[in-house]
Amino acid sequence: MSGETETESERASGTVDGAGTSSGREAGTAVVAGAGIGGLATAIGLRRAGWTVTVLERRAAPERYGTAFGIHPTAQSALDLLGLGDALRARAVPYRHARIRRPDGTVLAALPLERIERRAGRPELLMARPHLIDALLAELDRFGGTRIAYGQPLTDPRALDADLVVGADGINSVVRTAYFGSRSGPRPIGTVAWIGIAGCETGPYGETWGEGRFFGMTPVEPGRTNWYATVPAATTAREVRDVFADWHDPIPRVLAETDPATWIRYEMRHLHPALPRFVADGRVALVGDAAHAMTPHLGQGACTALLDAEALTRAVAAGGPDGLPRALRAYDAERRRSAQRVAFGSRSLHRFMSTRRPALRDTLLRMLPG
């Protein structure tokens, strides 16, 4: 597992302090595959519980690209429990007053952000992906004792010699394939998303739904606007501005204010069929996209990865190394149905948004309360 490009994020080991959690000895050894949001959050939770953690990441360096994530109040609570609440609040901005519009700008409905805020007592937040990755890395570094081995793709998960193996290696997870076979795999939905951050701050925020095309805009940080555009898979970067040229202001302006060299293209995929379990062999667990990759329509992919990481590491901390099989069963019971329901909801929303009868869809939207 050691390699020439390996990076040490190691300062101390044995005693974990500073966050109200401590252990006189290491609780067990864990290998986490993947240094994305799910993997880094899991590593933090395990370190807090006193585990010795190695993170294997196939990329040569931290992957800091990306635009902004919506962080739902439940995921904010998970970040609080992982000790990252202050870092979140220092960089995130609240998301409020967003509407769903037609391409001509007519308002169809409100996104339920105020309802979420009333219920949870705190707003939905938006945070740039690089800031979240940086905050996770900083928290790991603060604890010390975690080795992040960059440029180390895991190829044979069954050969790993560790008490616990966590597959946080994304939608093409090799841990999932090794323990669950290839029956469940990534399935494209025939739509791609282009995402970017414009160098200007605009209102109004929210989503604009056309026929087979959608455009979303959110705040992200002062002076910038986070946007995402979904279009048929064959659309090239050059065609995206034309596709939205006659949509309401500020959509063409937002696209004009973003350097196409910085646009990111995502092929939208989800994991199908859903897995029968997130855990295997009493020592293996999947988190995040590896377990339940979903389409981005509900903006919950990173949120569910954070909830998985918090739930898994809480269960493992309560069970200790000897109670690992029971802890993994508890994690599976807490997270599998819930995460798979969100994935199903996201896919259903995609179908609703993409209907060939947009007039009927828009009428239904107008009838929504509030």
Q: Binding residues for ligand FAD, per CB under 6 A?
A: 33-39, 56-59, 63, 69-70, 153-154, 168-170, 174, 193, 195, 228, 266, 288-290, 296, 299-303, 305
Angle at 364 between CA 359 and CA 365, to 5 degrees: 95
Give the shortest CB-309-to-ligand FAD separation in angstroms.
Answer: 9
Give the shortest CB-188-to-ligand FAD separation in angstroms.
Answer: 12
Q: In terms of CB distance, is 99 or 326 closer to ligand FAD? A: 99
Q: In terms of CB distance, is 87 or 195 closer to ligand FAD? A: 195
Q: In terms of CB distance, is 137 or 302 closer to ligand FAD? A: 302
Q: In terms of CB distance, is 231 or 305 closer to ligand FAD? A: 305
Q: In terms of CB distance, is 20 or 277 closer to ligand FAD? A: 277
Cα 24 from Cα 20, distance rounded (Å): 13
**133: nearest Cα among 36, 9, 10:** 36
Give the shortest CB-367-to-ligand FAD separation in angstroms.
Answer: 26
3-class secondary-structure state, position 206: strand
H or E stretch at 255:
helix 251-256
Give the shortest CB-29-to-ligand FAD separation in angstroms.
Answer: 17
Q: In terms of CB distance, is 69 or 247 closer to ligand FAD? A: 69
Give the shortest CB-21-to-ligand FAD separation in angstroms.
Answer: 23
Q: In terms of CB distance, is 37 or 198 closer to ligand FAD? A: 37
Handedness of CA 192, 215, 302, 295 (dihedral sign): negative
Angle at 256 between CA 250 and CA 259, to 5 degrees: 135
Cβ proximity of 218 and 307 under 8 Å: no
Q: Tokens for 370?
A: 């509030």
Radius of gyration of the chain (CA): 21
Residue 234 makes CB contacts below 8 A (sequence gap 6+) with none
Residue 152 makes CB contacts below 8 A (sequence gap 6+) with 1, 3, 5, 6, 56, 57, 58
Q: Is 185 left (phi over 0), alpha (psi -120 to 50) or beta?
A: beta
Q: In terms of CB distance, is 59 or 102 closer to ligand FAD? A: 59
Give the shortest CB-261-to-ligand FAD separation in angstroms.
Answer: 18
Q: How far is CA 155 from CA 57, 88, 172, in A?
A: 11, 33, 12
Give the shortest CB-22-to-ligand FAD separation in angstroms.
Answer: 27
CA dihedral 140, 141, 142, 143 (to 10 degrees): 60
Give the shortest CB-183-to-ligand FAD separation in angstroms.
Answer: 19
